[in-house]
Structure formats: structure tokens, C-alpha cells
């Protein structure tokens, strides 16, 4: 047996742990392992490297991915030069199949988020034996209880909220911490809960300017001369859309969000009697060492992926459900995003300790 493994989409802590889990498990079955460089770019352009125990030794604790990644290399709409361009992307999926056969691969393990797994499912439907492994710091894939990378991103975001508390209190300021979270606000919600955020703004709960101002002034009336606002990048007003920073042609998800926190700061300026400062975490949440939980989870995902290959259970994604490793069809993995429900227990928990969601109509 000879298998290929690739990491695609955005990087995050735990990718190397999955690569290690897949590789070590495969080698101990007597298989050969090939690492495909820079996601699907390597599959299209024929950029590969062999992987053995030495290659994956010591990478468990490393962030990023030793294989490289890309969130613009789509075999079905290839926009990377020299084979394609953002203006005229090409369908090079046949070339990806040709390289798969040329290498003599028996299976492909694709590690990535919604976009990556959608492409993996397309390849599977056309005949490639594929296994998917879910990766997203947003934790928004519905077919698994949790994805690796999320816990690490959450730890970074929570530490940031913890750190701004002291400066906010010292200067009597409103501090706004902007986390990642395009369509799902899991990072902002849990970092806000764990860090004691006073106001949490999520994509799932449109905010109202008057309710944010009211929450800050109410704290001030009770003698709290500072406030902490935790906002997901995809948060939006009740009448309006998400804040778009730029659009990247050729990307599987071309819209880049960012800057909603500055809009919130403008709303508060001159209305609450306190200075407002903004901290945008951005890619800091993607970098650095994975947490112990993410190392454990990612290793389990990698070993389970190799197990599925051994059973020839292709067209499936590794899933973590009820603290056990299982699998689901790839088609189910990419069918629906897992988002925060405004009526969830976590929302009620936050409201129970006095947290505002910038919308007085939300009661959990």
C-alpha cells in the first residue's frame, strides 16, 4: 500500500500532529507514505516528497505544516501560475489524477476544512480513493463535535482577553478584542466566556448599536469604569452585512473579513465617556504550538484515517463524536456548517453571568 497525504486551506496548530499520526500508523502497517506539497498544488503540479519516521520525528509540538499548504489551489478551478491565473482558472483535475496514478498511490488523505473537503469529495466522486480529516479553527463543521486547531486558537484568544483586562481597568477604557470566526462565533463565544468578556458579538446574533452602548453605560452606572468586548470577525449589525477587508481572486473562499471592531469603536466614540481601543488577533490564533488537547485529537484523527484506508472505507471523513473516533461520508461533512444557536445553553450561561450579546432580544 502506498498513500499520499496533503494539508490544504488555512494553517493551524495540529496539522503536523495529523501528518505524524497518519505516517507512523501507515509505516507500521508496512506501507509507503508520500507527502504532497502545498495542498492540491502539489497534486496538480507533481510536487511530492517521501515521508518516513525521521521526517515526522519531533513535529508533534510544531505549529503549521511541514508539507506546506494553499487556500487557492483548487484542481477544478486552478488559478496558480504557471498553469493557471486568477483571471482564467482552469480545470486541471485530470492532471491531478494523472499524478496520483504516476506515483502509484492507493489512497489520498486530505486534511483541511470545508473547502478542502469539498474538493476531496469531488475527487472521490470521480474515482479517487480519498479519506478526509477535518481541520478548522472556527470549529464549524457539523459532522464532528470538534476540530483540531480550535482549542489552540481558543487558548490564544482567551489569553488575549485576559491580558487586556488589566490595561482596560487601569485606563478606564473599552477594549475590543476581535477574533476569527467568519460564519460561526465559537472562538469569540468561548473566549468571551472564559475570559470574562462583558459583551460578546457573534455572526449568529446581529447586534444593535443602542444595545451595545446601553450595556457599556449600565456597567459604568454600577461603578465598572471599563468594559471588554469580544467580537468575531463575522459579526454584523441587525441592519447590515459583514465587514469585508478585501477579496482574493482565485481563492476557494475569496472574501477576507476583518475590521468590524473598528466599526464598534466608532459606535461608542463620544457616547460612553470612555476611550476605546481595538486589538485584532488575526493570524496569531493560527500560529504556535498546539495545545495538549489538539495534539491528542489530531493524533487520533491521523491514526483513524490510516485505519479507514486499511479497510478501504473511502469517501469518508474522520469524525470525533461522543469522545470517540468514527467516520461519516464526505458528502455529509460538507453539507452544513455548525453554528452557534442563539438559544444554546452556552448563550444562557453567558447571559446568566451578566454578559450582553449586543441584542436585548436574545434571552438564550
What's the CA gap between 131 and 124, in Å, rounded? 9
Rounded to a whole number of angstroms, the distance between the first and last alpha carbons of the chain is 51
Mean pLDDT of 14-26: 98
| Overall average pLDDT of the 92-111 stretch | 97
User: Is 106 noted as a catalytic residue in this protein?
Assistant: no
Q: Give the active site residue among 11, 38, 114, 138.
A: 138
Widest distance between CA atoms in the chain: 71
DSSP state of 237: B
Question: pLDDT tens, 151-208?
Answer: 999 999 999 999 999 998 889 899 999 999 989 999 999 999 999 999 999 999 999 9
Q: What is the 3-state secondary structure (H, E, C) of 273-295?
A: CCEEEEEECHHHHHCCCCCHHHH
Confidence (pLDDT) at 128: 98
* C-alpha distance from residue 210 to each of 114, 172, 238, 334, 357 (Å): 35, 21, 11, 37, 12
pLDDT over 70 at 107, yes or no: yes
Residue 5 in contact with residue 48, Cβ under 8 Å?
A: no
| Residues with Cβ within 8 Å of residue 257, at least 6 apart in sequence | 182, 233, 234, 242, 243, 244, 245
CATH architecture of 154-286+341-352: 3-Layer(aba) Sandwich (3.40)
Task: Give pLDDT tens digits for 207-226.
Answer: 999 999 999 999 999 999 99
- Say yes or no: do domains 2-148+290-333 and 154-286+341-352 share a fold: yes
pLDDT of residue 18: 98
User: Could you give the C-alpha distances from 184 to 86, 115, 160, 210, 344, in angstroms and in order?
Assistant: 28, 15, 19, 23, 13
Evaluate whether 193 touches 340 at the Cβ level (below 8 Å). no
pLDDT attached to residue 252: 61
- Is the Cβ–Cβ distance between 301 and 21 less than 8 Å? yes
The structural domains of the chain, with segments of one domain joined by +, span 2-148+290-333, 154-286+341-352
Q: Which fold has domain 2-148+290-333?
A: Rossmann fold (3.40.50)
Identify the pLDDT of residue 251. 64
Q: What is the pLDDT of residue 249?
A: 66
| Per-residue model confidence as pLDDT tens digits over 21-79 | 999 999 999 999 999 999 999 999 999 999 999 999 999 999 999 999 998 899 999 99
Confidence of residue 148 (pLDDT cuts 50, 70, 90): very high
List the grid coordinates of 31: 506501507
Q: What pLDDT, on the 0 to 100 scale, is given for residue 244?
A: 77
How crowded is the C-beta side of 32, counted as CA atoms within 13 Å?
A: 10
Higher pLDDT, 317 or 256: 317
Answer whether residue 324 shows pLDDT above 90: yes
Amino acid at each position: 500500500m502506498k498513500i499520499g497525504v496533503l494539508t490544504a486551506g488555512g494553517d493551524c496548530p495540529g496539522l503536523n500532529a495529523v501528518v505524524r499520526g497518519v505516517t507512523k500508523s501507515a509505516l507500521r502497517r508496512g506501507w509507503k507514505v508520500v507527502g504532497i506539497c502545498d495542498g492540491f498544488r502539489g497534486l496538480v503540479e507533481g510536487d511530492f516528497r517521501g515521508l518516513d519516521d525521521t521526517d515526522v520525528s519531533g513535529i508533534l509540538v510544531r505549529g503549521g505544516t511541514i508539507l506546506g499548504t494553499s487556500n487557492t489551489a483548487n484542481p477544478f478551478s486552478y488559478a496558480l501560475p504557471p498553469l493557471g491565473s486568477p483571471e482564467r482558472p482552469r480545470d486541471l483535475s485530470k492532471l491531478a489524477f494523472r499524478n496520483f496514478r504516476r506515483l502509484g498511490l492507493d489512497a489520498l488523505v486530505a486534511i483541511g476544512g470545508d473547502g478542502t473537503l469539498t474538493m476531496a469529495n469531488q475527487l472521490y466522486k470521480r474515482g479517487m480513493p480519498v479519506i478526509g480529516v477535518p481541520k478548522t479553527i472556527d470549529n464549524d463543521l457539523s459532522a464532528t463535535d470538534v476540530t483540531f486547531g480550535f482549542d489552540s486558537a481558543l487558548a490564544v484568544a482567551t489569553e488575549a482577553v485576559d491580558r487586556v483586562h488589566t490595561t482596560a481597568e487601569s485606563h478606564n477604557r473599552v477594549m475590543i478584542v476581535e477574533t476569527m470566526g467568519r460564519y460561526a462565533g465559537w472562538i469569540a463565544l468561548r473566549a468571551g466566556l472564559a475570559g470574562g468578556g462583558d459583551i460578546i458579538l457573534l455572526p449568529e446574533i446581529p447586534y444593535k448599536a443602542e444595545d451595545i452602548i446601553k450595556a457599556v453605560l449600565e456597567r459604568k452606572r454600577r461603578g465598572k469604569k471599563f468594559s471588554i468586548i469580544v467580537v468575531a470577525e463575522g459579526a454584523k449589525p441587525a441592519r447590515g452585512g459583514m465587514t469585508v477587508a478585501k477579496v482574493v481572486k482565485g481563492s476557494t473562499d475569496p472574501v477576507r473579513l476583518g475590521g468590524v471592531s473598528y466599526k464598534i469603536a466608532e459606535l461608542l466614540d463620544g457616547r460612553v465617556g470612555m476611550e476605546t481601543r481595538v486589538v485584532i488577533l488575526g493570524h496569531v490564533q493560527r500560529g504556535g504550538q498546539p495545545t495538549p488537547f489538539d495534539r491528542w485529537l489530531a493524533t487520533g484523527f491521523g491514526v483513524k484515517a490510516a485505519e479507514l484506508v486499511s479497510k478501504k472505507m473511502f469517501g469518508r471523513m474522520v469524525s470525533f463524536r461522543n469522545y470517540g473516533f468514527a467516520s461519516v461520508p464526505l458528502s455529509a461533512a460538507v453539507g452544513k456548517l455548525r453554528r452557534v444557536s442563539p438559544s444554546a445553553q452556552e448563550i444562557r450561561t453567558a447571559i446568566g453571568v451578566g454578559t450582553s450579546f449586543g441584542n436585548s432580544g436574545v434571552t438564550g
